[in-house]
Amino acid sequence: MNNGASLIPSLTDDDRDVDGGRGNTGIGLATKPESKTAKPALYKVLMLNDDYTPMEFVVLTLQRFFKMSIEDATRVMLHVHQRGVGVCGIFTYEVAETKVNQVIDFARRHNHPLQCTMEKE
Ligand code: TYC
């Protein structure tokens, strides 16, 4: 923008915050400020297809352990049935591990071969 003989002065290095507000030390801020709360690694919980587990059991499992509505659970179950694998949810490591174990245990107790696994996002 051309201010011409503007009364608005242009910014100089002295005016800009070149050093993250530490005063004009002449040392620019080379890295962005470190975030104090590091984001935890996330893991996808995956449901695997098989030929034997009843569709209704998979829907019930998704509702019970992943708090899905019957509509979402049916959609995910059909996706897994058709594609072989599908995402049930994304969680921190311990939550994902717990859900995988809950699903496998629930399926085993009902004599279904349903399998569940996790993978880093
Ligand atoms: N393929 C199974 C059947 O035809 C249904 C099924 C869907 C099983 C999803 C597992 O994760 C699964 N009865």
Tokens of 38: 């590091």
Which residues form the pocket of ligand 1, taking CB atoms under 6 Å from any ligand atom? 47-51, 53-55, 58, 77, 80-81, 114
Burial pattern 15-45, b for ≥16 Cβ within 10 A else e, equals eeeeeeeeeeeeeeeeeeeeeeeeeeeebbb
Three-state SS at 47: strand
Say how many Å lie between the CA of residue 47 and the centre of ligand 1. 10
Say how many Å lie between the CA of residue 117 and the centre of ligand 1. 15
Say how many Å lie between the CA of residue 56 and the centre of ligand 1. 9
Q: What residues of the chain score a pLDDT lower than 70?
A: 1-30
Q: What is the pLDDT of residue 30?
A: 67
